[in-house]
Structure 1
């Protein structure tokens, strides 16, 4: 591997690890920010903390799952753009 290719690889590796870390931290914030409080918001039947008949914690967990799916697609898009920038072929 030439010196220039090595520098490009190091830049790619650094950018890849940074993107992965950022997406992991966002996922962690979503998981702990919505799942853990949702358990404490469990509403027994007849409680005011219900939306369309479902407990509020159910809605919070559904939102976190949807955000996880969106995050997965955003991560794939970001890594594909990073691969294109550095000429990496999968």
Structure 2
């Protein structure tokens, strides 16, 4: 792999990580801590939505992001011809 191609691959990888970490931050910190009071006016399964995001929502979002990352990295690996 040429140095230019390696740099482009790394740049795309870091960009993907930043986007996914930002989404996780918004879900876990933003919805679970900052917006907890407005979300607590809505109930999900008998529990306030803010409480739900703080306790389970961020975990579910993290699990979804793991699968999104794995799929995106597979596509990225194929694009840069570094797949197995």
Q: TM-score range by the shorter chain?
A: 0.7 to 0.9
TM-score by length of 1: 0.69
RMSD: 2.5
Runs of 4+ residues over 6 Å off in structure 1 = none
2:32 counterpart of 1:35: yes
- Provide structure 2 residue ranges, at least 5 long, that are not aligned to the other structure: none
Moved more, 15-24 or 49-58: 49-58
| SS of the residue 1:69 aligns to | helix
Name which one, 1 or 2, has greater alpha-carbon Rg.
1
Count of matched residue pairs: 81
